[in-house]
Amino acid sequence: MPLDCGTVKYQLEARAISMPAADTVTADTDHRRRLLDAMAHAVARKGYAETTIADLAAEARVSRRTFYEHFATKADCLIALYEAASEQALGVLKAAIDPARDWHEQVEQALRA
């Protein structure tokens, strides 16, 4: 079937324009991860109040524009960091639980995790 038939051609062109390239998605994910890492380091080092968006962008090696593509505010970035850390901690705890073992052992294992 030729691709120049009206609607199909238009839909294929629109899809090609609206779908980001795979390397863009990877870069966006990497930028977000670096910004979250930067937030964790900066807040540990300077405290939240003293941390600026310029600090975060510099430590993450991205522009301030890139920061704002991911987060509306510094607080949004901190909340995203909290959510990511919570999900990671929950994953570690879930992995430590084995329903086949006694619940006392499961609690002890989760506390050691």
Q: What is the pLDDT of residue 85?
A: 94
Is there a domain that residue 24 lies in? yes
Q: What is the DSSP string of 64-96?
A: HHHHHHH-SSHHHHHHHHHHHHHHHHHHHHHHH
In the chain, how many domains are there? 1
Q: Model-level pTM? A: 0.67
Residue 67 sits in a domain whose CATH number is: 1.10.357.10
Q: Which residues contact 55 (CB under 8 A, 6 or more apart)?
A: 38, 42, 46
24: confidence class by pLDDT, cuts 50, 70, 90 = low
Q: Which of 27, 31, 26, 53 is nearest to 42 (CA)?
A: 53
pLDDT at 20 over 60: no
Is there a domain that residue 1 lies in? no
**pLDDT tens string 84-111:** 999 998 888 887 777 788 888 877 877 7
Is there a domain that residue 67 lies in? yes
Is there a domain that residue 65 lies in? yes
Is there a domain that residue 91 lies in? yes
Range of the domain at 33: 6-112
Q: 90 or 76, which is more confident?
A: 76
